[in-house]
Structure formats: C-alpha cells, structure tokens
Structure 1
Amino acid sequence: MQMLCTKTFSLSRFQETCLRVLSFCNSNSLKEGICIHSPIIKLGLQHDLYLTNNLLSLYAKTFGVHRARHLFDEMPNRDVVSWTTILSSHTKTKHHSDALQLFDMMIGSGEYPNEFTLSSALRSCFALGEFERGMQIHCSAVKLGLEMNRFVGTSLVEFYTKCGCCSVEAWKLLSLVKDGGDVVSWTTMLSSLVENGKWGEAFEIYVKMIESGVYPNEFTFVKLLGAVSSFLGLSYGKLLHAHLIMFGAELNLVLKTAVVDMYSKCRRMVDAIKVSNLTPEYDVYLWTTLISGFTQNLQVREAISVFRDMELSGLLPNNFTYSSLLNASSSILSLDLGEQFHSRVIIVGLEDDLYIGNALVDMYMKCSHITTNAVKVFREITSPNVMCWTSLIAGFAEKRLEDSFQLFAEMQAAGVRPNSFTMSAILGACSKTRSLVPTMMLHGHIIKTKVDIDIAVANALVDTYAGVGMIDEAWSVIGTMNLRDSITYTCLAARLNQKGHHGMALKVLIHMCNDGIKMDEFSLASFLSAAAGLGTMETGKQLHCYSVKSGFQRCHSVSNSLVHLYSKCGSIHDANRAFKDISEPDAFSWNGLISGFSWNGLISHALSTFDDMRLAGVKPDSITLLSLISACSHGGLLELGLEYFHSMQKEYHITPKLDHYMCLVDLLGRGGRLEEAMGVIEKMSFKPDSLICKTLLNACNLHGNVALGEDMARRCLELDPSDPAIYLLLANLYDNAGLSDFGEKTRRLMRERGLRRSPGQCWMEIRSRVHHFSAGEKINEDEITEKLEFLITEFRNRRYQYQENEDKFYHPEQLAVAFGVLNAPSTSPIRIYKNSLICSHCHTFIMLSTQVIGREIIMRDRKRFHFFKDGQCSCRDIFCIALVKTDTMSLEQDNQTVDLEASKPISLVHGG
C-alpha cells in the first residue's frame, strides 16, 4: 500500500514536472520540449487533457500544423481547448479550408466552441470570402450567448468590414459588445477599413471611438497614419500627430517610423527628421524609411548621407534599404551610383532578393543605353515576379517596342500574369510610337483577360488611342468604363491639345462635370492650355476663377498655364501678373513669359526677361533659347539671334535640335542672308524636313531669289509632294518676280494633282460662345453684310486707299470684324483668332476699320499678335507680306491646325 502511494506520488510529481517543461517550451517555442512526449506515452499520461493540450500547442508552434494534426488525431480524449488549439494553428498558417473543416467536425462531435474557436473560424471565413459561412458562425455565437464577448465581437466587426459591409452596421455591432468594445476592437475595425481603402469611413469610426470614451493606442495611430501617408494628405497627418501627443501614446520605434513615413510621403522631410530625433532608438526600418523619403523627394544626396549615418551606427542595411538606394540612382539616371550599390549588394549576398533584383533591372533600364546588364540581372533571378517582368518590359518599351512584346509573350508563357502596370507600360510605348496595330492587339488581350476592370489600364488605353489619333475609340473606351477619374479625362484633353483640337479638349470638361468629377491641378492645366490654344479669354478667366477657389493657383502646372493663357490671348499685362504670383518660377514659367512677350511683339521685354531669368539663378533650357532666337527673328535682330544660337553649346551646353536650326534659317532668311541659310541646312546634323525648306522658300519669296526658291521648292516637293502650300509659295515667288505665266502654271499643276489649300478660318469668343468664320463663306445675315458695306463706304467717303476684293467674297477676318462690332461688349477690344497668316488686304481693312469704329482690334494669326488701334498696327506692316493669294495658307513652324469644334456655349458648371 505504501509502495502504491509512493508510486502515485512520484507519478504526480513527474506529471507536474512535464507540465512545467511544456509550459516553458511553449512560451519560448523550444522544440526540445517534445522529448516529454515519449515518457508521457510510456507512463500512460496521454489521457491527461491538460498535459496533451500543452503538448499539442508545442507541436503546432515548433513543427507545424501537419505534425500537430497527427497528434490531434491520435488523442483519445479532446475538449474545446484541443479543438481550438488545432483550429487556430490552421488559421494562423493560412490553412483556412482545413480550419473550417475542423470547425464542422467539432460541432459534429458535440463539443461547443468558445470565443477563441469562433474568432479563429471567422478569420478563416473572411480570408476565403465565405460570407454565408461567416454569418452561420455569427448565428452560432448568438445561440451560445457569445455575441457580446469582446473577442467574438471584434472578430465579427473585422469579418463584416473586410467583407465589404457597411461600416455603420459594423459600428452598431461593435456597440453591442460588452462595455462598447476596447481599443483592440476599435483598432481592428479601423484596420479593416483602411485595408479596404475606406479611409474616410476609417476616420469617422476613429471619431466615434474617441466619443465612446475609448482612447487610441500606438497600434491605432500606426494604422491610420498608413492611410494618411498614401491617400489622405498632410492635414490629417498633422491632426493624428497632435492626437498621439495629446493622448500620451508611447512613441516606440514602430509608431515613430509610421510618423516619419507620413511626413516623408507628404514631402516634409524636415519634419520627418525632427520626429526621428525625438528618441535615440533607431532600427533598420526607420533608417530605410528616411532613405526612401529622401529618394521619393528626389533628394538623393541626403538619402546617401542618411545611408552613411546608418552604417556608422552599426546597423546593417536590408533588401528594402538597397532597393530604395537603387531607386534613388534611377531617379537621377546615375549609372555610376547604381553600379556602386550593385557591388554592395553582391558583397552582402542579397543579389538573389526579388526586391533588389527588380530595382536593379529598373536602374539599368533607366540609366543605361544598353540593355545587356538589365537582362543579365533579370536572368539571374530564380523566380522573377510580375514586378521584375514589368520593369524589364517597361524598359524595352521605351527602347525597342518589338522586344517588349516578345518579353510580354515570354512572361505569359512563364505563367506570370501581367498586372495593370505591365499593360500601362506597353500601352504607353504604343502611344509614343503611334503603333496602332499593337494597340488594338493589346486591347483585345485586355478584353479577353478582363484586365480592363482596372481603371489604370483603361486610362492607359484611352491615352494610347487618343495619342494615335483614334479619338472615337478613346471615347468608346471611356463609355465602357465602370469607374472614371480625373486622369481619364486629363489624358484625353492633353492628347487633344497636342493635336491642336482645342475645342474638343474644352468639351471634355463638360463630360467631366457631368460625371461629377472635380478638376485637379493636371486637368485644370490641360483645360487652360486648350483655352489658350483657342484664345477663349472668357473661358480662360472662368478656369482662372476655379483655380483660385480650389487652391490650385499655387500649383506650378496651373500657374504656368495661366501665363501661357493670357499670353496667347493677347493680354500680356495679365500674363505678367500671373507670372509674378508664382512664388518660385521654374524654367517653364520663365519660358512662358519670354515667348509671351515675343508673341505679343514686345521683343525688348522678352530679351530683358531672359536676363532676369539668369539673374534669378534659373538655368535656361532648349525651349528658352528657341524662344529667344525666334524673338530675334521677329524683331529683326540678326546678330543677336546668331549670338544666342552659338551660345547654346558654348555657354549652356545645349545641343541644338531641328527646331533651333529652323529658327536659325528663318532668322538668316529674314535678314537676307539666303546663301548662309542654305549652308545651315546642308551642314546641320539632322536630315532636313519639308518645313525647314519651306521656311527658306518663304524667305526667297520675300527677297525675290527665284533660283534658290526653285531649288527649295523642289526639295520640299521631294519630301512632301502633297503639301499645297509649297505650290502656292512658288507661284507667288514667280508672281512677285514678274513671271506670272510660271505662277499660273504652278497653280494649275496643283489643281491637276487634286491638291487644295486648307480653308482659312477665323473665330472669336463672345459671352462664352465661340463663333467661327470660313474663307469664301456667303453670309446670309443682313446685319453683317450691312456693317461691312457701311465700313467700305466709310473708307471711300474718308478717301482711304482701299481696294475691294476681286472675288467679291469677304475674307473671314472681315466677317469676324463686322460680327465683333455688332456683338462684342463696347468696353472691351474685339479679339479675333486666325488659323493662318493674315493677308495684306485684311491687314489694311482692319487698320482702317479701327479709325471708323474707334475701337481696338486684336488679331492673333499663326505667327504673332497684331494690335490694331487708331489706324495703326503694332507690327508696323513689316510682317505683312503682300501676298494676297496666300491668305488661306499656313506657314507656321508647326503643322498643327486649330480645331474650331467649339461653337456651342461652354459654361463651367462647377467652376463659376
């Protein structure tokens, strides 16, 4: 008997020892505790549930769910702890289907789940998207009286919010939880909303959380700061920063990193550094966040400085650190810097990392003219993911479109599905190269694979179709989109502007307003550019008002567009005022003002503005020099223009492009140095196009050089035989030289070849409506005819020298003048815009009209502005070549024509 008692006491002592060992090993995840399993079986202790449940937990932690499941299946007895342990281990390791199967087996065995079992099962439900199954588990919780339990309530809130249910309903559910839920419950809900992109709702719940008397902790702030960093902006971030101070949240490393990340992404690196210095603790994630922040703000020198400080602190960079540094190299296109970091990556043995591999491919593609290194890095990646493929494809799309398509096919063959960035990269390349067939093939692939659900891909498709000139197809894609944003319409408007369809671009604004989409700074800049192209001052002023109301006036893209708008509308005073409102003018700002002065005939102002630009420390670019040479050409400043051209490479290290040579030829041609201009064309490194030859042909026409003019006409026809302007210029050259027979033969040859000159058109905006007038147009309106007859009669009565039209048709400029006199407000000048050069006949007509009506008339043709007042013009007649027959011909240095499809009223419903 005594021996039996001693044996029982010893067994009890051993059992207690086993529990202590298992508890210790469970707490520290030590697999050595498994050695207890063998004596437990030998001594027949496997029926002790407390002991075996601890052993089951240790198996799950150290050897995974499969070994744990094997032990669970062999257990002679199981209780709710056993079931919950094995079920939660499956949920944690993402074996969600097996977890729900175990839940069903538990219910079938007659065992009732507890709050922890239900929580694990709910997590598996929302992971699998099993909404109906989750609702069944919710019913089970209600039957068991566990609905108000904090653990179950928190899991239910997380389940419903992650499954896309209304956050208000989830909040009501949370209010049923005992004591209104704790900070964990509320933070779980906030986290679910943030993950689902419902940032506004997350902040609403945050406010209700505080109103309920539950105060946020560091985890709450980390979740919300993540939303602020990516989407909500600086004002929300500052509010959260103030709250975490007010509520006394501990600024541990995780929270400090989140605040630093928020300020970094909001471009407030000074504040980010201040926060990082609040406590002495640093880890690799905080250092990497700072490096990434400087990289995103293009402060590469500062990013490298932080990297050096990190190394001096004794912390080793990780893969994300090196990825950020490689991205910094890509941002400034520094191959040398990227190669240095590549060597560091090899030294530390991280070259096989996916993130680094992707960054290396991207760096070599962007920084190097050759693709060998990028391909080599890519081929060394064991299992390249979609990011790696996309970086390589995007790089080839910029260099060789055919190779990018080949890689695209190889990517699909490898079983990697392209994402929206992949498709957008290839579509962008198709747009740049104007490749129509590949675009349509990609569109078919998108429809087939249903990738067009992604708004980014749909926007890229709209941009591509518009870029290749298929505007109807672009609108068709927009019509099929379930969701549109400002980028959708901005892409279309920008492309229409590039092609000169400014009226159509302004109509995009109406569709955008009808969709309830507000303009952002980029769309606003596009619409301002369209208004500038059309010269619609009233529409432009409405857009200006909207920019002030919305706070976009301070954005560089908008402020630069305002300078461009007023310059193109002939209001250089307003353009100068818009320029002065820019706090830190960049090169685009200065270029806009310089070209504006030049356009408006204020050549000396343009040149002095360039001096101001240099004094301000802003480096001139190729556009600056192009504007200066053009201004000198218009102002007859031959030697100064030549000086600016030669200074491009010597002083500013800018390689002249074809446009610069065209301006140089125009400059020399206007100055009568035709042979020298011919030498420029023959010696330049570019192959001459028809436009530069046509420029010299026009100069030959001006100075009567028939031989050189004939040579230029021959070259022009070889390059572009279907351009009627060449025939007309040559014909007028013959006419002015007294060779009218040759001139008539040239015109007859043009007609025999079926070529027609583009119709001259004028337009004007009155009360937000654009009215246009065409050459040779018969006017049925008696008022306009009477006004024109009245003006011509007044010319005769005042004995002005004026010759009426031989063809008895009124030119569009004349129609526009009469219409403006009748309809434009008497207190403002009459503004007329023309898509070709003004002819000498109309020039004289408008000058004389200003003496009769006593009003200022502003005319913008394809070359410049003409300010008519009191019988005088700002150009002093030096730009009006006496070529009456070329009044419908465009000789502008770009080939774009202005679209006049804007005759309907344009009102800014949302812009005032």
Structure 2
Amino acid sequence: MFKSSIDSGSSTHGKLAHAHMIKTAFEPSLFLQNTLVNMYCKCGELDLAHQLFDKMPQRNLVSWNSLIAGYTGIGDYQNAVWVFNEARVSRLELNRFAYASILRVCAQTGNLELGRMIHGLVLTNGLGVRKVLLANALIQMYSKCGHVGQARLVFDYSEELDGVSWNSVITGYVQSGMTSEMMRLLVKMHRSRVGFSSYVLGSVLKSCCSNFVGCEEFGKMLHGCCVKLGWELDIVVGTALLDMYAKIGDLSEATTLFRIMPSKNVVMYNAMISGLFRSETLNNVYAKEALKLFAKMQIRGIKASNVTFSAIIKACNACQEYEYGKQMHAHICKRNLQYDEFIGSSLVELYSLLGSIKDGMKCFSSTTKRDIITWTSIIMAHAQSGEFEGALSLFCRLLESGPKPDEFTISIMLSVCADLAAARSGEQIQGYAIKSGIDKLIVVHNSLLSMYAKCGDIDSARLAFESTDSPDVVSWSVIICGSAQHGRSRDALSLFELMKDHQIAPNHITFLGVLTACSHGGLVEEGLKCFEGMTRDHGLTPNEKHCACIVDLLGRAGRLADAESFILDSGFAGVPVVWRALLSACRLHKDTVMGKLVGERVIELEPEAAASYVLLYNLYNDSGMEKSATKIRDLMKERGVKKEPGVSWIEVGNRVHSFMVGDKSHTSSTKIYARLEEMLEKIKKMGFTNESHVSDACEFEERQGSAVNHHSEKLAVTLGLISLPPSAPVRVMKNLRVCQDCHTIMKFLSKLEKREIILRDRIRFHHFREGFCSCGDYW
C-alpha cells in the first residue's frame, strides 16, 4: 500500500494503511517505518514525514537519506542541510546517496563553499568520487556554481561516466560562454560513441544564440546532425532549433520547423512567439502573426504560461491592438498571473501607450516582485506622458527598494531632468552613474549631453562631448542640435564639418540641427546648400521638419514668395507645419495679404490646432486690424479651440517651481510680486517702455491691464533672482514662445541685476547678458 502511494504520488492509500496500523496497535519494523517515511517524502508531505521520523525509536541510514532527499525534492534546501548536519552529529556513517543529495542542494543554491566541504568529506571517507553517482553530483555542483574548470577535472579523473556526466560538463561550458571548450568536448563525446540525448543537443543549440564567431554555421551543422540522428522532431530539440533560428534572425527557417513539428507544447509556442519579437524583425506584420499563434494555442487547448502572456501583451503594444491587450489583461487576472514581473512590465507599457498612467500604476503596484525592467517601464510611462516629477519620485523609490538602475533607467532619468530643466537633479544622477561605473556607456553619455544642452548649459554639454571616447551619430547630432538651439549657429556648422571629417554619416536629426542653426542664425546660403547636399551627398530624403526649417529660413530673410514656392514644390503642401512656418514669417514682416491667405489655408488643414489661430490673430493685431483679429478670436471660441496655457518653471533647492500668468499660488508670491514691481520701476528709468510691446504677447488672456507685467516667465525669473546665489545664472523654461515684451524686459534685467538669465522657450534658448540676447533679436 505504501509503495502504491509512492508510485502514484498520492498519499491516500498510504494514509489509510497508516491509520489501520495505528488503530490495530501494529508495531512496524524499521523497514516498514522507512518505507512510510519515504512515502510521505515522495508525496511532498514533509511535515508528516518529519513527525514520523522524530517518533521512530530506531533509525538507520535509509531513514536519514529519505528525509534529506525529501526536503531536496521540494526545494526546502535549508532543512535538507539541517537534516544532513544532524545526521553527521549523530555520528552516523553516511553513504554516497546522502552526499549526492546534499551536493544537489549545493548545486541548486550555488553554495560553492559547502560543496567544496562535502567534496572534502567524500574524499576523507573514501567513498570514491570516481564512481558515477558522486562524480555526476560533483560535476553538476561545480558547473552550476560557475566553476566549470573544476567540474572538468572531476570529469577527467572519473572512472565511470554516463550520458549525464557528459551533458553536465557541456551544459556548464554553455552557461559559462566557453563555446570552444564546449565544441571540443562535444566532438570527443561523439568519438567516444556516447549517444547524444535531447538534453545535451538542446543545451548545445542554446549556445548558438550567443553570437560567437561562426555560431550560425555551427548551429546549422548541428541541425544536420539532429536530422541524421532522427532528433529533429523531438519536442526539446525542435524547440531549441526553432529558438536558435529565431535568435539569429532566420524566421523563415524557424517558421518551417514550427510547421513540421508533429506535436507542439507551450514552450514551442513561446519560442515561436518570442522569435517574432527580436529587435531586428519587430513590425506590425510579425506582431499580428503572434496574435494569430496565440489564438491557435487557445483552439488547441494549450494552456498559456506567463511567458506567453508577456509576449502577447508586447505584440498588442507593437501593433496598437490596445483593446485586445485589455482583454489579455482580463485573461491574465483570471489566471491570477498579474503578479508576475515580466507580465507586469508589459502591462505597464500597454497602459502608458494608452495614456492611462493611473491603470499603469495599478499594474505596477500589483506586481509583487519588481525587477529593474518593471521599474524602468513605469518610470518611462511617466516620462512619456509628461509626468516628469512623478518619474523623479519613482526613481527615488527605486533607489530605496533595492534593484540597481541600469544604463537604460539612468538614460531615461537624464532625459526627464532635461525636459524639466532640473540641472541639479541631473548632476546627482550623473554622480550615481559615475559611482556605478556606467557613465562611459554611450547611451548614458548621449543622454548626459542632451540633459546639459536642454538645461541651458551648452558649455558643459560641449565639455562632456569632447570627453566622449568614441562619439556616435547620436552624440554628434545632440551637440549640433544643442548648439543650434543656443544660438551658436557657426559652432553647429563647424561641428557638422568636423563630424564629416571623422567619417560619421549624418542622419535626419543631424540635418535638422544644422538647418535649425542656419535658420536661427540667418545663414540663408549655407542652409540652402546644406539642404541640397542632404539628398545629393548623403542619400537622405527630407521630411516635413526639414522643409519647415527652409521655409523659416527664407521667411525670416524676407523671401516670402520664395518660401511659398518652395512649399508648393516640396511635396509637403498638405502639411500644416510648413505653412505655419510661413505664417510666422508673414507676422514677422507684417505681410497681412499673404498672411491672410496662408492663415486661412493652415486653419483649413488643421482646424483644431490653436497655434495657427494665435499666429493669425497676432498678425492682425500687430497690423492694427482689430476687427479681423476679433473674428479669429471668436472663430476659436465657436469651434471650441483652446490655446495651451503658458507655463514657466525653474529649479530652486532640488524642487521645480511652476508659474502661470498672474500666478499667486506660490508661498513666496508676496516677495516675488514686490521684487518684480521694484525691478520694473528701475528699468523704466533705464529707458524701458512696454507700450509698444503689449501687442506681441502670445496669450489672449494676458493682454489686458497689468497682466503683461506678470507673465509666467517674469515670475519664474524673479523667484530665481530672490532665491539663487548672486553668482548663479537664472535658468527658466517655458512651454510657449517668449513674447517680445518679456524678451525686452529680460535684456534690461540682465543688465540691472548683473546676472545671466537663460530662458528656454518652445523654439530655442535665449542667453541674456549685460542687456543683450544670444539670439541677436532674431527669433
């Protein structure tokens, strides 16, 4: 009855027999008691086994071995070691089975120190490490602890070897990335006429995914070997082959293998679905193919695993099947798999793409085991949704929770600091990157360049760029675009020439930076020459942003007719952004005739964009056409088009302070307004008058009364002047273009306060020093 329970894995019959023994006061022999203990151990009921073991009046080696093996079998390694130590304390002479069990514990836990001690005890007790049982246990222990060299020594000096011995050493070489040694041993195994197993072939095929030299040819050779030996249709070998071809990018061969396999399990489906998600092949077609495979799994009744769901959610994200993704989320909750860290990170990405940070945070909170991928996903979700302060808060929680941020997390956080213009926070994150030793990685270094440039410190960005060992196209593009935005047009062009001298091929973003530099610097001929060379010399096709730069370049130079002709010939005549650039030029040169036609056209193309209405309104208002301006304003109200409110912010004392027009919510608002009024009175005595500039304010609601004096950027700059040390520059960011009134006032304030004021608006940076701006009033 006890052996019946051992064979079936169910303790029901054994318990009935045990109960009958107790009821009849039957006194079992030591043999029967050991069988009973073994039954409870094999059925996973270690509590009952241990209770019975403690009550045994007499125990022998079999008793102890059963209990050690039982704890090892259920993964309770701590108790397995405890029982082993108790057996040694009892001065019992342990045999090779006990030592083999405890060596398996060492292998599973990676406890090399204990494993070496057991090895020594085996040698001391003369149990014969050259015999197959202990030899295999030692080989597996050393291999799994990362000491495959010592495993090979045990292997070479063993008198008895079997397939497990060979497989263990080969697997150890695979896991250690020692492909040359692995291949030599595989050849030796074949010459020794030891038959390959599905396990060893699967392990070796796994090594072909590690991109060593000749891995593709070696993998195909192994495929031929599998076919010759009749293993290609084995589920383990077939899955390994499929995974290998998918990882080396041969999806055609992977699909063929998947199709011909007579039986498919969830692991094979997972391998095929995951194969469709390699970075080199991911697109909508493959993503939808993955969804079809999942549907076939459901039809065949194959139960999906957490790996399957994680891949399918990624497929939904890739092909924008968000509703399907929500259905998968419901399916995941039904299976109670929402706590898995890989599924959690995929769900966070799903809801961030949907713009639902709240739902993404719920998924994040429900994930009990959060690895760095899960943390990075939720931080990126906040960053992509513009929740920058939330991203910073989560990063602080990450540092407190344990997982170490990797280069991708640091890169995202530097981008967050760039968007917030939080230079001090960015410097602290840079310090963490240096301490962690990842600051030299190119992805971190490029983000650092961008952070300094976007925070208004182009000199630090240039120093960081010059310290880069091997700048790539991203590094060059970032520093060129940064120089352009800071008004250093000639520097941007010099860097572009230097980039070409270093044989770095420019991309679309590089040219966007160069054309922006030409536009902001009024370098018409240089800009046109660069635009022509984009296709002629580098084979790049300009997009609407490049064309908008050329329109802006010609428009600022007063060549409005040329700009219009360029649009009509560019192939982007139906794109609103290029016409909006021309409308902005019409406003600059007060050309109401062309401006009216262009404004009507751009509003027709993009009737919901507030920027077009505001530009046309300002054009009419600047030209004294109040009735036309009022009509545009009424048209906006009639169509329900709302302008984005102007917001400015400044970092002071590790905190970002935000302001809107006339904002009095700040705790220091009384001091801010008093200081601002004091400075306005002083600059009036210096010759400033705002009467001629009021019409240039960008916001409708800011044109009345004293509101023009309380624009958001003025309030932010004033807080900086009050709070920052006299030697520190005042860096303020704004989400809209700076108005002419504020631009003029900043020049006066920089001279009055003898301070550098750096103001970033939607278009560019303005560096105000001693009454002058870096843009040369050309913005």
Which category of TM-score, normalised to the shorter sequence, fits these structures? Answer: 0.7 to 0.9
Give runs of aligned pairs for residues 477-488 of structure 1, distance below 5 A.
Answer: 477-488=363-374
State the Cα deviation string for residues 69-92 of structure 1 (Å, max 9, x = none). xxxxxxxxxxxxxx99x98xx98x
> Where does residue 570 of structure 1 map in the other structure?
456
Structure 2 residue matching 1:479: 3-state secondary structure: helix
Which string of whole-angstrom CA distances, capped at 9 and with x for unpartnered residues, describes residues 278-322 of structure 1?
99847689999787556434x5x63246568xx5xxx77555xxx
* Closer, same or farther: CA 559–865 of 1 in aligned 2, 3 Å: same
The C-alpha deviation readout for 1:759-807, integer Å capped at 9, x for no partner, is 1111111110111110233478332222112212221333345548663
Amino acid at match of 1:156: L
Q: Deviations over 1:717-770 (max 9, x none)?
A: 344322221111112233445544322221222233333321111111111011
Contact in 2 for aligned 1:158/1:192 (Cα 8 Å): no
1:597 pairs with 2:494: no
Residue 171, structure 1, aligned to residue 75, structure 2? no
Query: Is there any run of 5+ residues in structure 1 with no aligned partner, and where?
Result: 1-82, 229-236, 265-270, 320-344, 880-912
Which residue of structure 2 aligns with residue 296 of structure 1? Answer: 210
Deviation at 1:674, TM superposition (A): 4.8
C-alpha contact 1:361 1:377 (8 A) present in aligned 2? no
User: What letter corresponds to residue 683 of structure 2 in structure 1?
Assistant: F
Counterpart CA distance in 1 for 2:253 and 2:566 is 40
Compared CA separation, residues 513 and 169, structure 1 to 2 (3 A): same
Corresponding letter in the other structure for 2:739? C
1:257 and 2:157 matched: no
Once the two structures are superposed, the pairs formed by residues 518-529 of structure 1 within 5 Å of their partners are 518-529=404-415
The aligned counterpart of 1:6 is none
Larger relative contact order, structure 1 or 2 (CA cutoff 8 Å, min sep 6): 1
Matched, 1:862 2:744: no
How far apart, CA to CA, are the structure 2 residues paired with 1:317 and 1:376? 15
Q: Supply the AA of the counterpart residue of 2:210.
A: Q
Q: Matches of 1:691 and 1:513 in 2, distance apart? A: 42
1:160 aligns with 2:39: no
Please say if residues 484 and 492 of structure 2, whose CA atoms lie closer than 8 Å, have aligned partners that are also in contact: yes
Match of 2:670 in 1: 782
Contact 2:143 2:168 in 1 (8 A): no
Distance, in Å, in 2 between the alignment partners of 1:587 and 1:226 is: 42
Q: Supply the distance in 1 between the matched residues of 2:512 and 2:293 (Cα, whole angstroms).
A: 40
The RMSD of aligned alpha carbons is: 4.5
Q: Does the aligned pair in 2 maintain the 1:256–1:276 contact within 8 Å?
A: no
The answer to whether residue 744 in structure 2 is matched with residue 826 in structure 1 is no
Contact conserved, 2:364 with 2:378, CA < 8 A, in 1?
no
Q: Which of 418, 423, 426 is the aligned partner of 2:312?
A: 426
Deviation at 1:569, TM superposition (A): 1.2
Task: Tell me the amino acid that sits aligned with residue 50 of structure 2.
Answer: M
Match of 2:640 among 754, 768, 772: 754
Shift of 1:143: 4.5
Q: The residue matched to 1:755 in structure 2 has which SS?
A: coil
Query: Which residue identity is paired with 2:59?
Result: G
Quick one: structure 1 residues 796 and 254, their matched pair in 2 at CA, closer, same or farther if it must change by over 3 Å?
Answer: same
For residues 350 and 274 of structure 1, do their structure 2 counterparts lie closer, same or farther at Cα, with a shift above 3 Å needed? Answer: closer
CA distance in 2, matches of 1:545, 1:155: 55
Partner residue of 2:59 out of 135, 145, 152: 145
1:788-827 equivalences in 2 (<5 Å): 788-800=676-688, 803=691, 807-809=705-707, 810-827=710-727
Partner-residue secondary structure (3-state), 2:338: helix
CA distance in 1, matches of 2:501, 2:16: 76
Contact 1:858/1:865 (<8 A) preserved: yes
Residue 365 of structure 2 is aligned to residue 447 of structure 1: no
- 1:138-158 per-residue CA deviation (whole Å, 9 max, x = no partner) reads 458x54412xx3x76455334
What is residue 657 of structure 2 aligned with on the other side? Answer: 771
Contact 1:599/1:864, CA 8 A, preserved across alignment = yes
- The amino acid across from 1:750 in the alignment is M
Q: Decide which structure has the larger Cα Rg and report it.
A: 1
Q: Deviations over 1:180-203 (max 9, x none)?
A: 9688756644544665xx55xx35
Aligned residues between the structures: 730
CA distance, structure 1, for counterparts of residue 140 and residue 394 of structure 2: 38
Q: Which residue in 2 is equivalent to 1:883?
A: none
After superposition, the C-alpha distances for 1:102-150 in whole angstroms (9 at most, x for unaligned) are: 997999996753999689757733xxx443454367458x54412xx3x
Of 747, 766, 770, 1:847 maps to 747
Which SS does the other structure have where 1:763 is aligned?
strand
Cα 1:494–1:546 shift into 2, 3 Å: same
In structure 1, what is the equivalent of residue 699 of structure 2? Answer: none
Counterparts of 1:189 and 1:674, CA distance in 2: 85
Structure 2 vs 1, CA of residues 353 and 878 (structure 1 numbering), >3 Å: closer, same or farther?
Answer: same
Alpha-carbon distance between aligned partners in 2 of 1:248 and 1:402, rounded to the nearest angstrom: 48
Q: Name the structure 2 match of 1:456.
A: 342
CA contact under 8 A between 2:50 and 2:67: conserved in structure 1?
A: no
Structure-2 separation of matches of 1:624 and 1:193: 55
Structure-to-structure mapping, 1:347-386, within 5 angstroms: 350=232, 356=238, 378-386=258-266
How far residue 670 of structure 1 moved from its aligned partner, in angstroms, is: 4.1
Aligned to 1:878: 778
Cα offset for 1:442?
A: 1.9
Contact 2:140–2:169 under 8 Å retained in 1? no
In structure 2, relative to structure 1, the CA distance for the partners of 1:181 and 1:679 (3 Å cut) is: farther
* Per-residue deviation, 1:548: 1.9
8 Å Cα contact 1:365/1:392 also seen in 2: no
**Aligned with 1:452: secondary structure?**
coil
1:636: Cα distance to partner?
3.2
For residues 823 and 830 of structure 1, the distance between their equivalents in structure 2, rounded to whole angstroms, comes to 10
Structure 2 equivalent of residue 399 of structure 1: 284
Q: Classify the secondary structure of the residue corresponding to 2:599.
A: helix
- Farther off after superposition, 683-692 or 838-847: 683-692
Cα distance in structure 1, aligned partners of 2:16 and 2:498 = 77
SS in structure 2 at match of 1:770 = strand
8 Å CA contact retained: 1:632, 1:638: yes
Measured against aligned partners, the alpha-carbon deviations of 1:445-477 in whole angstroms (never above 9, x if no partner) come to 111121213221122111111221011111122
Contact 2:152-2:169 at 8 Å conserved across structures: no
Q: 1:507 aligns with which of 393, 415, 421?
A: 393
Residue type at the aligned position of 2:619:
L
Query: Which amino acid is 2:416 matched to?
Result: A
Instruction: Please give the residue correspondences for 1:331-730 in structure 2 after superposition, counting only pairs within 5 Å.
Output: 350=232, 356=238, 378-390=258-270, 395=276, 398-399=283-284, 405=291, 407-513=293-399, 515-672=401-558, 674=560, 677-678=563-564, 688-706=574-592, 708-730=594-616
Instruction: State the TM-score, normalized to the length of structure 1.
Output: 0.69
Which has the higher mean CA deviation after the structures are superposed, 707-716 or 595-604? 707-716
Partner of 1:135: 50
Match of 1:342 in 2: none
| CA pair 740-475 structure 1, distance change in 2 beyond 3 A | same
Gaps of 5+ in 2: 159-164, 191-195, 695-703
Report the secondary structure of 2:716's partner residue: helix
- Judge conservation of contact 1:795–1:802 (CA < 8 Å) in 2: no
1:601–1:875 contact (8 Å) kept in structure 2 = yes
C-alpha distance in structure 1 between counterparts of 2:176 and 2:501, whole Å: 33
Q: For the Cα contact (< 8 Å) 2:417–2:426, is it kept in 1?
A: yes
Is the Cα–Cα contact under 8 Å of residues 629 and 664 in structure 1 kept in the other structure? yes
Q: What amino acid does structure 2 have at the position aligned with 1:381?
A: M
Distance (whole Å) between structure 2 residues aligned to residue 838 and residue 534 of structure 1: 17
Supply the distance in 2 between the matched residues of 1:407 and 1:247 (Cα, whole angstroms). Answer: 45
